[in-house]
Structure formats: structure tokens, C-alpha cells
A = this chain, B = another copy of it.
Amino acid sequence: MNAKTRQRRPAFDREAGVAIAQALFHERGYDAVSLADLTNAMDIKPPSFYAAYGSKAELFERAMLRYAQENALPLDELLAPDRPPAEALPALLLAAAKQYGRDSVLRGCMITEGMRADDPAARRMAESLASGGLQAIRAYLDQAHPQDAESLADYVSVTLRGLSASACNGMPHERLTQVARTAGRFIAHELEADEPTTAS
């Protein structure tokens, strides 16, 4: 009677349900997706839903975690400690713009937009997850460009939020990436003006 033999009859794939929820939440946002939408899409009834996920908000958290795992930008590569900010930050912005506008229906950053949910619990979950990414940017800049780490981190954060929101409202992929390139060029110009780094 080992534990573990007890979860026979899965009868519906819980992880697949999280994937379905992830798509719905990403497409429409937390508040605009109802329990009925979720249970219909998963083809289960509410009691199964609550047995599997606990609540709509908990499922939202699992969906955001799944989103972060498979869609999050590779911050550790983009912001590798030895990469100069004049190269890393533009690359980060461009990668974000490309992802936010890639899919015609799953637009923007699911977590960034989750921070604007009406439900306070869902909003706090999203804010908590987002703070991880912001801290990574801040930590990178603290070691790579400490003289205005906060200012630059805020600038990047605001630009990312603007890109996500604009993507959600339909700004096409090319214009999003163009804005990201513009912002990246601005950053590079300023950083290279301050410290011409090595050669030239």
C-alpha cells in the first residue's frame, strides 16, 4: 500500500487543463474568463474543477507559473553578468517585443497584464511573479551599471509595460519591434556616450 498507487483514474489531464487555462487567461485576462468558460473548455464540471485546482485564482497562479516556465524571456542569458548593458538591454527589449506580438491572439505579457486584474488576489499573484523579473533586471544593472541602476531599470520596466499593453490593443508586430529597437538604440547611445567602454 505504497502511496502513489492511489491516483488511478485521472480521467482528465490536470496539466492539460492548466494549459487550456493559460491560453484563456492570456487571451482575455483573469476577470474576463469565467468558471463556465474554463469548465467548458476543459470539458469538466465545476466540482472536478475545484477538486483539481482549488479555485479560479489558484488555477490562475498555476497558469502564470506555466507561462513563466515556457514563455518567460531567458533573462539569465539576455542579462548575462558579463554582457555590456548597451547590448543586453536592447536585446531584452527586442526579445520582449517579438514575444508580445508573436501570436495574433495571445498578445502581450500574461503576467504584466495580470497585474491589472480587478481581483485583488489575482493581481497580487501577478505582481509577485513580475517582481522576480524586475529584480533580475535590477540585479544585473546593479553590477553592470551601478551609477543609475534604478533609473535604467525603471525605464526598461516602463517600456516593457508599454509594449505589452500596446500589443494587447493590437499594435502590429513590426511596429512593436520597431519601438523596441528605438528604445534600445536610445539606451545604447546614452551608455556609449558615458563610457566608451574599451576600444575606439
Which A positions have Cβ atoms within 8 angstroms of B? 28-29, 31-32, 113, 115-116, 118, 127, 150-152, 154-155, 157-163, 165-166, 168-169, 171, 175, 178-179, 182-183, 185-187, 189-190, 193
Contacts and interface: CB of A to CB of B under 8 A. Distances in A.
Stoichiometry (number of copies): 2
Contacts of A127: 169
A182 B165 contact: no
Contacts of A150: 175
A19 to B, nearest CB: 23
Given A31-B118, A116-B116, A154-B166, 16 more contacts: A28-B118, A32-B118, A116-B169, A154-B175, A154-B178, A155-B179, A155-B183, A158-B179, A158-B183, A161-B161, A161-B162, A161-B165, A162-B162, A162-B163, A185-B190, A186-B187
10 contacts: A32-B118, A113-B116, A116-B165, A151-B179, A158-B163, A159-B159, A162-B163, A186-B186, A186-B187, A189-B190
